Structure 1
Amino acid sequence: MMIFSFWYCMSLFSVSCGLVAFVAKRKHLLNMLLSLEFIMVSIFWLMIQLISSLGGDSYFLLFFLTLAACEGALGLALLVGVVRSHGSDIYTSLNILSC
């Protein structure tokens, strides 16, 4: 049981590190997307540990992983659109009135 609590703490620590990176790198869209993906992978890791320790089914994990992949693809599509229209992914250079 001690080993499970260590892995739970490690996954919660990685989620909190992802949140800190998300807040610290909020000026660039690419860095924010990377930290969001890190948070999603950390939550996926935590859910794998919880569901496997409870003896549950893994269909929900596949659904969560599919939604995380769709979220990443949508974020990258938005990033490409912003870079093509504005030239960079820095939020200070984005202006709604210039579109």
Structure 2
Amino acid sequence: MKTVSLLGVGVIGVMLGCICLVSQRKSLFGVLLSMEVFTLGVYAIIFSVFWILGELGSLCLVFLTFGVCEAALGLSVLVSLVRGVGSDYVSGLTSGHF
């Protein structure tokens, strides 16, 4: 019963992450946060499916590692953008200052 609720939380997280990702148009920080919600939702789905199957393999750990690497790369791009342009607005990327 707990795995079904974890699967539901994962599906809601994926849907919420997609909606936020589509609706963000100004701030790169908001895009990165919505991508993190999406990644955690997918991780919850993968974890609950492997829990139901009875095999908690290393795929969950590998996926979580890739999620952390994605977050670190996104944060480095955000810091580089803020240092170069002065804000995290996506409109600053199109002006050619980056």
TM-score normalised per structure 1: 0.87
Quick check: 2:85–2:97 contact (8 Å CA) kept in 1? no
- Structure 2 match to 1:65: 64
Give me the CA root mean square deviation.
1.7
Query: How many equivalent pairs are there?
Result: 98
- Structure 1 match to 2:17: 18
Residues 50-81 of structure 1 show CA distances to partners (whole Å, capped at 9, x for unaligned) of 00100113201100000000000000000000
Give the distance between the partners of 2:13 and 2:19, measured in 1 at CA.
10
- Structure 2 match to 1:83: 82
Give the distance between the partners of 1:14 and 1:54, measured in 2 at CA.
22
Question: What's the offset of the Cα at 1:94?
Answer: 2.1
1:9 aligns with 2:17: no
Unaligned segments of structure 2, at least 5 residues: none
Give the distance between the partners of 1:25 and 1:97, measured in 2 at CA.
21
Unaligned segments of structure 1, at least 5 residues: none
Question: What's the offset of the Cα at 1:96?
Answer: 5.6
TM-score normalised per structure 2: 0.88
Residue identity (%): 32
